[in-house]
Structure 1
Amino acid sequence: MNTDPRSVAGKRLEIAERTQILIVGAGPAGIAAARHAHQGGAQVMLVDEHPVPFETMGESVPQIWGGRMGGSVRNRNAMTERMLEARPDLAELFEAGVDIRLGTACWGLFANQPNLGWIPGLVAGLADEEQGSHLVGFDQAIVATGRRDMGLAFPGWDMPGVLGAGAALVLARLYNALDSRRAVMLGSTPEALLAVLELVSAGVAIAAVVEQAAAPAAPEDLVARIRAAGVEIVTGEAPRGVTSDADGVTGLVLRNRTIACDSVLLGVGAVPMIDLLHAAGARCAFDNDRGGFVPLLGAGGETSLPGIRAAGDCAGIWPAKSSDPALAVAEGRLAAGAALAALGLATAPADVAPQPGPAADLGEYRKAWVRASVVEAVAEMPVCQCEEVTAREILDVSPPRYLNAPHLPNLTRSLTEILGEGPPDPDQIKRLTRAGMGPCQGRRCREQIQALLALQEDLSLGVVPLAGYRSPVRPISLAAAAMPEDPAIAAAWDSWFGMPRQWIPFWDVEEHYTVAALATEKEHVSE
């Protein structure tokens, strides 16, 4: 039987380099994993996307930067130096022989699966400013990509000065480039209040912590530390808008007062950054005690994809772990020990990964914030900033505005009726409204859409499935995406662009494609 020349069967990928253990993320878990794996005799490559290119930061990737990046972030060399000053362990690892790649984004992980049987083992896609995009083969991977912030819409949240609490910490701690002097924190989770204390120590005045609930959501001892630092805690309030000038936010408007500030920090939810794992096909599930959707892990932090492990905040977030980096370090060491054992360089370590205790209902807390800030907003505003889709348009499943379709609100049908049986599906909402399809890849609106759908159908948050992630999970330029390819793939270029001949039996396809040669009378078959 002849082989279809347009099939990927028999084609080869250009693998630029290989390593035994690939570690993605140079936080506490990633650094600990790199040190332990190197000491165990493995070849280790440690990649971290920081310093993030300024152009990428402008799209609120990977954090919600909110236009409060100081001008120094444009200087890549200065940012790299500041990062090494903030994380001196990186220099130590480099001197010890670890292959460290800073300013390098991992935009995809690929493993052999039913629809990827032709992949030559485990492969990662990396991109940096020097080499562009290239593929790296590896035997074991440890993903330690950390966390990001949940977005929260309110009138004016698209103004410069509204940024994530985690983004503010990165700018202050890692880059020393936070362009903010006085901020208000939205949310009183343990992670939000710990961020308040760190920002205060970095010289940022925190005017207030605003909480929609009647009482703070953090333990009383942490609340006491906030009050001892002189920070006001305002409960029973949600943002109603902002005041602003040419430079962005100048104040946060509440029901009966306006708090002067130049930044509003989104601290209503710290989200495990699982995009790389989910796009690779690792099984994930909602876990209230671990901060939301997290990968399902087996012994040694291994995901459902053999050879790919998770550690640190991307494997789960809870208060004790947020306040004590030693727990993330322990996860990194455990994952590295298991990776060494898989390579035959060590015996399998005892599986003693830190486990969280029972937590408050995270889903109800996030839904309450979305209800108070978005549903009860005094004016309509985009929930998806990239595509300018409002909450009403999401819940009405309105078509994108650029189609100029007549507005037909689905007020007589529930989302279940509109989208079919079963829980509402954020991916269907994305396809029908474009909410979540913009340059930030849903990082500002993903959790809000999930909460809106749960509120609409009166469901618990975890019942609404996770919207899909797709590679590349980081924006890369077309120039960087132009990787070397097998000449046999280039020879059948037209079949990759949806041209009609891709449905014609390959034995009937003309050698050279021309529009005039399209045979409309032939029977078309699906590949």
Structure 2
Amino acid sequence: MELNFGGTDLCAVNGTRSKAEARYDVVVVGAGPSGIAAALDAVKGGASVLLVDENPVSGGLMGNDTPLYFGGRMTAATQNSERMLEAIFMSMPELETAMEAGVELMLGTTAWGVYRNGPGAQSLPEQVVGLANAERSWMVAFDRIVLATGARDLAMAFPGWNQPGVMGAAAFQMLLSRYDAFSGRRILVAGSHDLALETALLAHERGIEVAGLVEMRNAPQGDPKLVAKVEALGIPITCNTHPVEAKGGLDGVEQINLADGETVACDTLVMAIGLIPMIELVDAMHGARALEPMRGGYIPKGEATVTAVGDCAGLADTGFDHIAYRMDWMRALSNSCADDTIICQCEEVTRADLIGVQPPNYLTRPAPMCARSLETLLQDGPANQDQIKRLTRSGMGVCQGRRCRDQVAMLLALESDKPFGTIPLATHRAPVRPLPMKILAEWDEPSEMDAAWDVWFGIPTAWVPWEDIGTPHEDEHREMLYTGMYK
């Protein structure tokens, strides 16, 4: 039985959803090479296509290492949005090709959530993607959506990594190749696989001094041809060692201490151990169940609704033991960490906090909480990063776990003596980018939502509608609540 006065169900969610501002046959998220190719294929097939990309991202987001691990090594040029936009077009002429072909392009626009009818979203009139720029957010409807969000850096903690000058290889390449806004002068590269070797070659090409590469294994791990190119430039590759501490001053890193006792003077350490596909949008859509495989080329109407292309669909298979390699690095760096080494920079969760399953120091710790540890937690079942996240706040900061999510899972695997793949990663929820409430909030609410704001979300046991307080209808509400007649 519905509670209905005057023919209106005040608890109904009908009409409370905002309508999409525009509609496209295909929306492509990510304007890298894969995204541009997908957009061109779609528009050539006669589809209306919207191509969105969050670059140029604001200096504030870069300071929070979103979407990449920039490590505080951006120049002041990143604060000038017009200059950044010009740099993108200068470095990516294929964007103009896409626009001339009929693709609508939106840069500096974040896709923060995709909503399709399903659990918790049954009232949507159609499937939509949430977009936001520096001024507002809005919804766009689509028939099909292609995710070409790329990959981000794998960060790993060690003493001193939480100061400016420790950054990721993808962010380094972005600052050099896309923005021309890297502030460092002399770098050290951690790793020796292709990503690290390509990073060193790019730096040398752009006039950045490369102090060398350090590899914790006993030999370089990348393509021998790339290794030869790096060595031919006089760039040393030192094996059987790794960073144990980053020492710095007011401007960040000044030197890196290595496990073999050597000290390297540099202003930047580029972590080039590996990349992680950016799957936040997919994960927030209930994970792999939402994703349908890309069969190549333009997707004819009526086929797959959500597809992924490029690095976000999975990194290229090079035959290299990526997981074992990363775990070797994690084990080596972890052994260098003291109890007070920060693991989650946003929430200042230390290694001791994480392994002890304790909240950060700014929260109180009652005695029962102090008695808790990962060991006691494991007695109740396998480690679960979502549970660890709620108990310690690791991954709950403004970077949304980009610096700690993957390494926390790796640490949990090491500490619980389990294979890495058996530890589930923390899940994502929309918005998948840290958006200010003034942008995300909907100031022009539909009249239906405004009229029944206190009950439209469908929890009748929590509220009596404001307009019925002090009227005979208030008692009718209470009677309904107490007799369980709401349905």
Asked if residue 207 in structure 1 is aligned to residue 214 in structure 2, the reply is no
CA distance in 2, matches of 1:153, 1:13: 42
1:312-461 matches, within 5 Å, as 312-318=310-316, 356=317, 358-360=319-321, 362-378=322-338, 380-406=340-366, 408-410=370-372, 413-417=375-379, 420-421=380-381, 423-461=382-420
1:81-480 matches, within 5 Å, as 81-130=86-135, 132-255=136-259, 256-283=261-288, 297=293, 299-300=295-296, 306-318=304-316, 356=317, 358-360=319-321, 362-378=322-338, 380-406=340-366, 408-410=370-372, 413-417=375-379, 420-421=380-381, 423-480=382-439
Q: Which residue of 2 aligns with 1:347?
A: none
Q: 1:245 to 1:114 in 2, by over 3 A?
A: closer
Q: Secondary structure at the match of 1:116?
A: coil
- Counterpart amino acid of residue 467 in structure 1: A
In the alignment of these two chains, the number of paired residues is 468
1:105-157 CA distance string (max 9 Å, x none): 11111111132122222201111125x10000011111100110011111111
Q: Retained in 2: the 8 A contact 1:364–1:461?
A: no
Q: 1:357 to 1:385 in 2, by over 3 A?
A: closer
Q: Retained in 2: the 8 A contact 1:16–1:135?
A: yes
Q: Secondary structure at the match of 2:202?
A: helix
Q: Which residue of 1 aligns with 2:29?
A: 24
Q: Retained in 2: the 8 A contact 1:160–1:247?
A: yes
CA distance in 2, matches of 1:242, 1:128: 36
CA distance in 1, matches of 2:140, 2:251: 43
CA distance in 1, matches of 2:15, 2:349: 44
Q: Secondary structure at the match of 2:125?
A: coil
Q: Please, which moves more after superposition, 371-380 or 74-83?
A: 371-380
- Counterpart amino acid of residue 307 in structure 2: R
> What percent identity do the matched residue pairs reach?
39
Cα offset for 1:164? 1.0
1:362-381 CA distance string (max 9 Å, x none): 22222222221124325631
Q: Retained in 2: the 8 A contact 1:163–1:265?
A: yes
Query: How high is the TM-score relative to the length of structure 2?
Result: 0.89
Q: Is there any run of 5+ residues in structure 1 with no aligned partner, and where?
A: 285-293, 319-355
Asked if residue 79 in structure 1 is aligned to residue 39 in structure 2, the reply is no
Q: 1:505 to 1:429 in 2, by over 3 A?
A: closer
CA distance in 2, matches of 1:441, 1:412: 22
1:7-53 CA distance string (max 9 Å, x none): 42453322111111101111110111111212221111111110001
Cα offset for 1:2? 2.5
CA distance in 2, matches of 1:492, 1:150: 46
Q: 1:33 to 1:299 in 2, by over 3 A?
A: closer
- Counterpart amino acid of residue 480 in structure 1: I
- Counterpart amino acid of residue 405 in structure 1: R
CA distance in 2, matches of 1:82, 1:64: 20
Residue of 20, 39, 42 corresponding to 1:37: 42
1:324-373 CA distance string (max 9 Å, x none): xxxxxxxxxxxxxxxxxxxxxxxxxxxxxxxx36431x222222222211
Q: 1:359 to 1:520 in 2, by over 3 A?
A: farther
Q: Retained in 2: the 8 A contact 1:24–1:106?
A: yes
> What is the RMSD computed on CA atoms of the aligned residues?
2.7
Q: Please, which moves more after superposition, 433-442 or 88-97?
A: 88-97
Q: 1:397 to 1:513 in 2, by over 3 A?
A: farther
CA distance in 1, matches of 2:292, 2:275: 18
